[in-house]
Amino acid sequence: MADAIWSVGMVAKRCGVKVSTLHFYEQQGLIHSWRNAGNQRRYKPEVLRRISVIKAAQKVGVSLEEIKQAFESLPNNRTPTVEDWQQLSKNWQQMLDGRIAYLQKLRDNLAGCIGCGCLSMTNCPLYNPDDKLAESGSGPVLLDQAEQKARAQQEANTS
């Protein structure tokens, strides 16, 4: 099995993804193949683990770019081992905890002023008299500040 050579169709079927998804992952540098004498893609069995890691990470909201960076952090861009998976998932948990904290704060403050005035004209005189938040930047200033505060707090908690 370790020396087995898998066709793109076999990998797609085994992993529950479309062939086009495998091609996309390969274009993104997440998986690797080679071409046989008939110019057909071939994969080593370890690609199944890489795709499983990709799918698991995506299900919890980890972006492909973040997955790629994690893979690139492994020695020789190897397929993650059990120990690697433990470390990757720990890192992603910390990132997800930060996102959750931000989303909870966003949820809790959603009805209030977001600092740009576009959705809170009746509240602006209370939260933003004379549009003083314009000095802090454009867009949803208070939401941006809340996000920065949540991330800083998360970083402090993980240090």
DSSP single-letter state for residue 132? G
Decide which of 18, 51, 80 is a domain's last residue.
Answer: 80
> How do strand 34-35 and strand 41-43 relate by DSSP bridges?
antiparallel
CATH number where 42 lies: 1.10.1660.10
Asked if 19 and 73 sit in the same domain, the reply is yes
Q: Has this prediction a pTM greater than 0.75? A: no
Residues 11-70 have pLDDT tens digits of: 999 999 999 999 999 999 999 999 988 999 999 999 999 999 999 999 988 999 999 999
Q: Tell me the C-alpha to C-alpha distance, in Å, between residue 132 and each of 81, 116, 141, 145.
A: 53, 10, 11, 15
- The chain-wide mean pLDDT, for the chain, equals 82
Q: Are residues 68 and 91 in the same domain?
A: no
Rg (CA), the chain: 22
User: Do both 75 and 129 map to the same domain?
Assistant: no
Last residue of a domain, one of 80, 95, 120: 80
Q: Are residues 7 and 65 in the same domain?
A: yes
Look up the domain containing 19 and give its range. 1-80
Q: Which of 132, 95, 97 is nearest to 113 (CA)?
A: 132
Count of domains observed in the chain: 2
